[in-house]
């Protein structure tokens, strides 16, 4: 049944900027400084030339980068497919993508030391190591300090500009109601999507795959992308729940939207497992050292338990939990699983990055090498992410109120 | 109690149907019928009408739970099957992978999960809908044929407790039905399949067992007749096989014995000393046969050959500590017997011919190397072993 | 033809964000849709064009079976397979046909889950295409096993050797994957047809038709209670078919990717093959949809908008395939394995460079033409592009299979593969099998999913007093 084309008033209190965003901004900044500062303090005293600190930092960084990139992907995709259902949640994704410039700045503690030749994270950053290693010498045209810098600038530049483009045009439409702005964003979407695919892939190659520079896998970009979309869907769900608990967006984001977000979260949980399995099984099957070197440290000691934890926690349990229609339409249950999957995403990043401490930096095999820097870095990054999104919530309306397809989003019903 | 009037005095009533021309009136009508308390009724439409489930009070089906359960069953069946077939009943070693290779079992497990779930979904829905049901009293109505085209109907069965010819008709007419018809219940009339079809199905079904019967019989019985070769391939080759008859020879055998005095190439063991390490009186030879040149060249050759064939177990200096031996110790192999140390006293005094015999045929747990090392090289190795023994005796300085 | 409205193209490809163009054109109502679609199988005498096409298709199919008979008689030596190229055209054809089949499931299942209304009018014949493509695909592994009287060895059946199949082999995973896929697709296709077969049953004029359509429609009455379960089942099947379609072509890619051969052993194969399958499948759907809608008078149901949407998917998946090529190329260099690097240089500049560049131009370059609206909304032009896409996708499987085999690790083993006339006749003949089945489908079975299309029309939506009546047919989503 179709209802009358519903519209919303631009000054409807449910969608006007969220005043609490200011508080989120402040609290987030404080948390960020304390978290990262504390981690730096701990890292300085660990006596490992910052190696442990940088790895913890990278885990937390890649975690939130994935969420922000997932938000950017969602926005681009909705414009590419001319979707109607998602208009009411799109602004939230736009605000999540708004964290990308912040992440660009937060990438500096990784990028600057690497560019200057510090190999606490990336072995290949040191010119002497490159010269003495036959394989790294071969890769030098790509894995060198200058090109790395150029790529990071290009990636974060592109992501930030694209996020800003969408947010700017989308919020401009809040006041003008000009349908041509939608057409403009739709025209940009296809090429942007292609560039997004390339930048996220090479970003994953640079940040994660080159940690073990002798190893390679053609699917690493897709792997990171899968985790990014899954965790960004979970984040949109949680942000929506939060805002609704503060009196915003009630009746605008309905159970139908949660259902759809839940379906996407579910689908990408499965997609992540499919990609992770493809990568693992193919390397396991051919059993060639250039592939198995990645999994070898992850199959010893405590890492065996961790791998099982990842399999069950990131796939099997949430897959069964989110499968039913009921779970996706009861927002309390859905929020539970969103939190669960965000926890699983941390396990994923930890799994991808931390064993480098063993394989490259010679720490004891079979150990997880947990350290205070891990939670502190994560809290710090969380703080800055919250600050970024919070500041956006304070400045902009929470829904693209004059989007031409808003009525579709308000009225649709699921099967 | 249900009132069932005989229509035309012959058949009882099946029920009433009401026709509607659009979706909105259908849904509203359904609400009225539901609110009136009827239970044995249904609505009919050419496509699923959105909003009709709550209007009719149709509760969500429990099908998804059944499908999920059968899907999990499929997963378990697949894993169990693969474990039992490849890791238990007939174990395969494939490229060094574990007998039960779980990563390799995932694809089939996934497929069977989907297969079980899909088959369950389809067949249980058909069963719950009581389909196939080839005859339905409603098919008598010409009007009802439009139910699969562009018209909508409500049908209320006479079996319903609240049914009454007048009141139910009045209710339906009040909902804005375009027409209300009575449908006779002709289920008592014989609507069976035509006899020939029934016979055909029955005979085909039974006939289907005949090939299975043949297979079963072949399974449990033996047959002296030769197998049928639908495609001869290379099954009948124009050659004589072992144990067969060949009429061209006097003794009729295809297998020919060796001609007296035939020696295979390379098998001539002419020189007892060189080939077998025996002296003239069939005792173990001490010293070297005349063919062996006592020179640096032979010693070097012996060293090279020793390091290839003997060193892995006996070690570079002959103490029985070669890399193979050390690895067996590392793996704590229960059945491993340490290689003999060549520097023991009795081996220093053992005649060279006996050493030669040991290299050729092996001793105790050592295999023979005669097929791998030609006699000349064996003597060279013995020369080198003597040098090793000598060197270890005098502290390794020679 | 039976079209009650003039069979011309109306442009409904507008991109104004404020309104969505109609998907069902020309002031149709429920009855006219029934007439338009049922009119085809209900014809007493089908148009001569159908007979011409059918004769051609049946002849090719005859060629196909004749070649298979000769193959069984003589053995697989009649093919060009040799050492080192032990896999030749048969496996390429197998992957080609399985890939084409995937688009049908994607249209039926995945677009259904994504609530894309425009899938309704093409879903039926796309699913039919899937079923027939899978049949063609299954023939090739069936005939290539060398001793074709022993196919039951592929299945875990008790046998006299008390042996079981090797579950660690991706070739066996194929048996299960493609078998499951064929079964589920066929059932999904048939299940979707039941309400439409009931429509034909209720309109039948002859006893034979009534009997046959009646038998196959299982006594469907259109009961709302039945529809309820039917809808739920359809949703479950769609939700199952989606991962199934991903898994099938992934398992097919495992045939190559689990090996250690340079050019084969790369982790991106599974999603790359799936994207490629969807790419070639949609190209085949478009290639079939354009003549079908023209000759059968269905331009009001299979509109330019439908074709344009499919072409955009072709562009998207073609770009994904291009992405995979570039990633493979980059990692081949990055991996610093001289064998891997050589494999890729050899593809581009070795003895099979002609095949490689055909592949690249057909797969990467030709779909890029769909950036131009003119090309993606003009039926004749899109068919040309789509035929090139399918040629390119066949060559992709050929390049992957043959270039890695003909130049593997030991130069002393290097060789060259040339197909024989029998390879070619079998491939050509498989198109005959496919076309014959497809033409029979067009003749007797409703080509468009009538019930589903009706559910998207305005007549299917309830009207409230305050609504302004619009041409909206895929606005506020309803199920279908």
Please report which confidence band the pLDDT of residue C21 belongs to, taking 50, 70 and 90 as the band edges.
confident
pLDDT at residue A375, as a whole number: 96
> Which residue has better confidence, C315 or C298?
C315
pLDDT of the residue at A226: 98
What's the pLDDT at C6?
66
Share of chain B above pLDDT 70, in %: 95
Residue C407 has pLDDT above 50, yes or no: yes
Residues with Cβ within 8 Å of C164's Cβ and at least 6 positions away in sequence, in order, are: B85, B86, B89, B90, C156
Query: Do residue B23 and residue C462 have CB atoms under 8 angstroms apart?
Result: yes
Nearest-CA residue of chain A relative to C271? A275
**ipTM for the whole complex:** 0.92
- The pair phi, psi for residue A215, each rounded to 5°, is -95, 155
Would you kindly state where each structural domain of chain B is located, as residue ranges?
1-189, 272-393
**Which structure tokens are listed for C375?**
């090309």
Q: Where are the domains of chain C?
A: 30-146+182-459
pLDDT at A140 exceeding the cut of 80: yes
How far is Cα C297 from Cα C43, in angstroms, rounded to an integer?
A: 13
B98-140 per-position pLDDT tens digit: 899 999 999 999 999 999 999 999 999 999 988 888 888 888 8
Q: Which chains touch C (3 or more CB pairs under 8 A)?
A: A, B
Question: What pLDDT does B7 receive?
Answer: 46
For the cut 70, the answer to whether the pLDDT of residue B1 exceeds it is: no
Q: Characterise A401 by phi-psi region: left (phi > 0), alpha (psi -120 to 50), beta (else).
A: alpha
Q: Which pLDDT score, from 0 to 100, does residue C8 have?
A: 80
Which residue's structure tokens are 């493509």? C133
Confidence band of A158 (pLDDT split at 50, 70, 90): very high
* Burial of residue C341, with CB atoms counted within 10 A of its CB: 0-12 exposed, 13-18 middle, 19 or more buried: middle
Average pLDDT for residues C25-50, to the nearest whole number? 86
- The count of C-alpha atoms lying within 13 angstroms of the C-alpha of C361, restricted to the half-sphere facing its C-beta, is 7
The partner residues of B362 in beta bridges, in order of sequence, read B367
List chain A residues with CB under 8 Å of C265. 282, 286, 288, 291
- Check whether B53 has a pLDDT greater than 70: yes
3-state SS track over A57-119 = HHHHHHHHHHHHHHHHHHHHHHHHCCCCCCHHHHHHHHHHHCCHHHHHHHCHHHHHHHHCCCC
Question: Reduced to 3 states, what is the DSSP secondary structure of residue B156?
Answer: strand
pLDDT confidence tier of residue C18, bands split at 50, 70 and 90: confident
Residues C319-366 have pLDDT tens digits of 999 999 999 999 999 999 999 999 999 999 999 999 999 999 999 999
pLDDT bucket at B190, cuts 50 / 70 / 90: low
Q: What would the pLDDT profile of B322-331 be if each residue is shown by its tens digit?
A: 999 999 999 9
Q: By the CB < 8 Å criterion, does C335 face chain A?
A: yes
Q: What is the per-residue DSSP string for A255-320?
A: HHHHHHHHHHHHHHHHHHHHHHHHHHHHHHHH--HHHHHHHSGGGSTHHHHHHHHHHIIIIIHHHH
More confident position, B12 or C51: C51
Of A181-185, A291-295, B6-10, the least confident: B6-10
Give the model confidence (pLDDT) of A33-77 as tens digits: 999 999 999 999 998 889 999 999 999 999 999 999 999 999 999
pLDDT for C71 equals 94
pLDDT for A207 = 97
Q: Is the minimum CB–CB distance between C205 and chain B shorter than 8 Å?
A: no
The answer for A 349-408 residues in CB contact with C (under 8 A) is: 403-405, 407-408
Residue A4 has pLDDT above 60, yes or no: no
pLDDT in tens, A291-325: 999 999 999 999 999 999 999 999 999 999 999 99
**Mean pLDDT across chain A, nearest whole number?**
95
pLDDT at C480: 30
Q: Which chain C residues are within 8 Å of A407, Cβ to Cβ?
A: 476
Any chain B CB within 8 A of the CB of A105? no
Side-chain half-sphere exposure of C171, counting CA atoms within 13 A: 12
Rounded CA-CA distance C25/B192 in Å is: 44
- Residue linked to tokens 């051969």: C261
- State the Cα–Cα distance between residues B251 and C96, nearest whole angstrom: 62
- pLDDT, average across residues A133-145: 94
pLDDT confidence band for C371 (50 / 70 / 90): very high
Q: Which residue has the tokens 């007419």?
A: B173
Q: What share of chain B is helix, strand, coil (3-state, %, to 5)?
A: 45, 10, 45
> Is the per-residue pLDDT at C36 higher than 90?
no
Q: State mean pLDDT over C111-119.
A: 89
**Across all residues in chain B, what is the average pLDDT?**
89
With CA atoms as reference, the chain B residue closest to A2 would be: B50
* Cβ–Cβ < 8 Å for A62, A349: yes
A413:C477 CB<8 A: yes
Q: What is the per-residue pLDDT for C14?
A: 83
C479 band by pLDDT with thresholds 50, 70 and 90: very low
* Pairs of CB atoms within 8 A across B/C: 212
Closest CA–CA distance from residue A46 to any residue of chain C (Å): 34
Please determine, for residue B94, whether its predicted confidence score (pLDDT) is greater than 90. no
Instruction: Give the per-residue pLDDT at C246.
Output: 92
Contact B149 C478 (CB under 8 A): no
Q: Does residue A350 have a pLDDT over 80?
A: yes
Query: CA quadruple A219, A225, A227, A229: dihedral positive or negative?
Result: negative
Residue-level pLDDT at C54: 95
Q: In whole angstroms, what separates CA A316 from the centre of its chain?
A: 21
Q: What is the average per-residue pLDDT within C179-202?
A: 93
Q: Comparing A17-26, B17-26, C26-35, which segment has the lowest mean pLDDT?
A: C26-35
C-beta of residue B154 within 8 angstroms of C-beta of residue B143 = no
- Chain B contact partners (≥3 CB pairs within 8 A): A, C
CB-based contact C229 B105, cutoff 8 Å: no
Neighbours of B166 (CB within 10 A): 8
By mean pLDDT, which of A267-271, B170-174, B382-386 is the weakest? Answer: B170-174
The phi, psi pair for C122, rounded to 5°, reads -105, -10
- pLDDT confidence of residue A210: 96
How does residue B5 score in pLDDT terms, banded at 50, 70 and 90?
Answer: very low
Q: Yes or no: say if A277 and B106 are a contact pair by the CB < 8 Å rule.
A: yes
d(CA C73, CA B323): 55
Q: Which of A201-205, B276-280, B308-312, C127-131 has the lowest mean pLDDT?
A: B276-280
- The predicted pLDDT at position B2 comes to 42
Sequence-ordered list of residues with C-beta below 8 angstroms from that of B109, at least 6 positions apart, any chain: B74, B75, B78, B79, B82
- Give the pLDDT of residue B93: 85
Looking at residue C478, its pLDDT comes to: 33
- DSSP at C460: G
* Res. C254 pLDDT band, cuts 50 70 90: very high
| Cβ contact, residue pair C467, A216, below 8 Å | no
List of chains touching A (3+ CB pairs within 8 A) = B, C
On chain B, the residues whose CB falls within 8 A of the CB of C249 are: none
User: What is the overall mean pLDDT for chain C?
Assistant: 90
DSSP class of C108? I
Tell whether A325 lies on the interface with B, counting CB pairs under 8 A: yes
Contact A287 B95 (CB under 8 A): yes
Topology classification of domain B272-393: Cytochrome Bc1 Complex; Chain D, domain 2 (1.10.760)
């Amino acid at each position: 049944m179709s209802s009358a084309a519903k519209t919303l008033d631009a000054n409807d209190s449910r969608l006007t900027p969220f005043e609490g965003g200011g508080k989120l901004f402040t609290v987030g900044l404080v948390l960020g400084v304390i978290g990262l500062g504390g981690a730096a303090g701990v890292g300085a005293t660990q006596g490992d030339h910052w190696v442990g600190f940088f790895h913890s930092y990278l885990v937390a960084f890649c975690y939130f980068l994935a969420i922000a990139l997932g938000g950017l992907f969602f926005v681009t995709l909705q414009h590419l497919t001319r979707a109607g259902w998602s208009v009411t949640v799109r602004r939230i994704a736009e605000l999540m993508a708004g964290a990308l410039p912040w992440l660009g700045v937060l990438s500096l503690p990784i990028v600057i030391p690497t560019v200057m030749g510090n190999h606490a994270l990336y072995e290949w950053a040191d010119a002497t190591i490159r010269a003495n290693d036959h394989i790294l010498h071969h890769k030098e045209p790509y894995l060198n300090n200058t090109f790395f810098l150029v790529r990071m600038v290009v990636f974060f530049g592109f992501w930030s500009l694209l996020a800003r483009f969408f947010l700017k045009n989308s919020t401009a439409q809040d006041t003008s109601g000009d349908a041509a702005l939608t057409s403009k964003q739709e025209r940009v979407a296809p090429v942007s999507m292609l560039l997004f695919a390339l930048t996220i892939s090479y970003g994953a190659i640079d940040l994660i795959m080159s940690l073990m520079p002798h190893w390679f896998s053609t699917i690493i970009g897709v792997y990171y992308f899968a985790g990014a979309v899954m965790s960004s869907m979970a984040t949109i769900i949680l942000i929506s729940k939060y805002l609704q608990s503060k009196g915003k967006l009630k009746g605008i984001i309905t159970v139908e939207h949660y259902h759809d977000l839940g379906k996407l979260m579910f689908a990408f949980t499965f997609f992540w497992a499919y990609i992770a399995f493809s990568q693992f099984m193919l390397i396991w099957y051919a059993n060639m050292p250039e592939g198995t070197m990645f999994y070898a440290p992850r199959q010893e000691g405590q890492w065996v338990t961790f791998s099982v934890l990842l399999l069950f926690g990131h796939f099997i349990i949430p897959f069964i939990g989110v499968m039913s229609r009921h779970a996706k339409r009861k927002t309390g249950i859905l929020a539970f699983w969103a939190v669960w999957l965000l926890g699983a995403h941390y396990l994923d990043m930890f799994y991808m990055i931390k064993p480098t401490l063993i394989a490259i930096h010679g720490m004891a095999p079979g150990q997880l090498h947990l350290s205070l820097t891990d939670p502190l870095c994560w809290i710090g990054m969380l703080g800055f992410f919250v600050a970024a999104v919070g500041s956006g919530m304070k400045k902009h309306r929470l829904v693209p109120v004059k989007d031409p397809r808003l009525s579709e989003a308000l009225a649709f019903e699921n099967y | 109690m249900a009132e069932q009037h005989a229509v035309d005095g012959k058949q009882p009533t099946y029920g009433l149907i009401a026709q509607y021309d659009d979706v909105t009136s259908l849904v509203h009508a359904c609400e009225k019928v539901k609110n009136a308390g009827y239970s044995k009724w249904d609505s009919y439409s050419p496509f699923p009408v959105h909003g009709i489930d709550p209007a009719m009070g149709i509760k969500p089906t429990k099908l998804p739970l059944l499908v999920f359960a059968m899907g999990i069953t499929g997963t378990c069946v697949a894993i169990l099957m693969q474990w039992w077939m490849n890791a238990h009943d007939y174990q395969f070693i494939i490229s060094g992978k574990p007998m039960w290779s779980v990563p390799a079992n995932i694809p089939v497990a996934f497929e069977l999960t989907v297969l079980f779930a899909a088959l369950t979904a389809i067949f249980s829905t058909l069963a719950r809908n009581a389909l196939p049901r080839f005859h339905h009293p409603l098919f008598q109505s010409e009007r009802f044929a439009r139910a699969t085209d562009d018209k909508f109907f409500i049908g209320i069965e006479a079996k319903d407790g609240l049914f009454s010819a007048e009141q139910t008709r009045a209710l339906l007419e009040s909902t804005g039905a375009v027409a209300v018809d009575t449908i006779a219940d002709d289920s008592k009339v014989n609507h069976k399949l035509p006899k020939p079809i029934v016979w055909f199905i029955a005979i085909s079904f039974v006939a289907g067992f005949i090939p299975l019967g043949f297979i079963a019989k072949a399974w449990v019985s033996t047959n002296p007749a030769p197998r049928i070769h639908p495609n001869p391939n290379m099954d009948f080759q124009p050659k004589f096989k072992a144990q067969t008859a060949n009429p061209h020879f006097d003794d009729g055998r295809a297998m020919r014995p060796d001609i007296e005095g035939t020696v295979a190439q390379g098998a001539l063991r002419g020189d007892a000393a060189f080939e077998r390490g025996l002296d003239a009186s069939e005792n173990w030879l001490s010293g070297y046969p005349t063919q062996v040149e006592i020179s640096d060249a032979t010693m070097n050759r012996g060293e090279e050959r020793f390091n290839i064939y003997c060193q892995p177990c006996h070690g570079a200096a002959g103490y029985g500590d070669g890399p193979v031996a050390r690895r067996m110790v590392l793996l704590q192999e229960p059945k491993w017997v340490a290689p003999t140390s060549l520097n023991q006293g009795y081996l220093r005094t053992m005649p060279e011919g006996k050493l030669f015999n040991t290299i050729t045929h092996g001793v105790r747990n050592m295999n023979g190397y005669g097929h791998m090392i030609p006699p000349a090289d064996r003597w060279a190795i013995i020369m080198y072993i003597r040098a090793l023994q000598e060197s270890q005796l005098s502290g390794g300085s020679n | 033809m039976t079209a009650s409205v003039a069979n011309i193209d109306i442009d409904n490809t507008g991109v104004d964000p404020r309104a969505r163009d109609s998907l069902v054109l020309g002031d149709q109502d429920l009855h006219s849709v029934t007439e338009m679609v049922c009119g085809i199988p209900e014809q007493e005498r089908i148009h001569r064009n159908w007979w011409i096409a059918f004769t051609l298709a049946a002849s090719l199919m005859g060629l196909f079976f004749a070649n298979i008979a000769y193959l069984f008689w003589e053995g697989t030596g009649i093919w060009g397979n040799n050492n080192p190229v032990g896999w030749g055209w048969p496996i390429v054809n197998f992957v080609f046909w399985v890939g084409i089949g995937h688009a049908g499931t994607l249209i039926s299942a995945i677009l259904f889950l994504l609530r894309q209304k425009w899938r309704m009018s093409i879903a039926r014949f796309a699913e039919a295409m899937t079923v027939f493509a899978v049949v063609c695909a299954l023939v090739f592994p069936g005939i290539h096993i060398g001793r074709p009287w022993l196919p039951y060895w592929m299945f875990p059946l008790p046998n006299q050797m008390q042996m079981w199949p090797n579950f660690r082999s991706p070739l066996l995973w194929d048996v299960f994957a493609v078998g499951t896929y064929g079964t589920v697709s066929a059932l999904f296709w048939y299940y979707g047809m039941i309400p439409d077969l009931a429509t034909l049953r209720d309109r039948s004029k002859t006893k034979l038709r009534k009997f046959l359509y009646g038998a196959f429609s299982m006594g469907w009455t259109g009961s709302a209670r039945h529809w309820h379960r039917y809808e739920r089942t359809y949703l479950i099947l769609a939700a199952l078919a989606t991962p199934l379609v991903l898994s099938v072509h992934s398992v097919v890619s495992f045939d190559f990717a689990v090996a250690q051969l340079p050019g084969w052993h790369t982790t991106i194969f599974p999603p790359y093959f799936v994207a490629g399958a969807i790419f070639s499948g949609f190209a085949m759907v478009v290639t079939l949809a354009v003549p079908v809608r023209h000759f059968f008078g269905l331009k009001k149901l299979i509109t330019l908008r439908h074709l344009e949407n499919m072409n955009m998917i072709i562009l998207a998946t073609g770009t994904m395939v291009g992405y995979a090529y570039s990633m493979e190329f980059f990692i081949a260099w990055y991996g610093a394995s001289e064998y891997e690097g050589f494999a890729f240089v050899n593809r581009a500049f070795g003895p099979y460079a002609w095949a490689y560049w055909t592949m690249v131009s057909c797969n990467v370059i030709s779909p890029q033409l769909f950036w131009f609206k003119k090309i993606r909304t003009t039926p004749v032009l899109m068919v040309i592009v789509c035929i090139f896409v399918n040629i390119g996708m066949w060559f992709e499987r050929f390049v992957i299979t043959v270039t890695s085999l003909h130049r593997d690790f030991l130069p002393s083993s290097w060789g060259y593969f040339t197909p024989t006339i029998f390879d070619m006749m079998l491939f050509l003949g498989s198109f005959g099998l496919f076309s014959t089945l497809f033409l029979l489908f067009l003749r007797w079975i409703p080509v468009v999913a009538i019930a589903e299309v009706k559910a998207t029309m305005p007549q299917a939506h309830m009207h409230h007093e305050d609504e302004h009546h619009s041409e909206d047919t895929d606005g506020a989503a309803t199920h279908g």
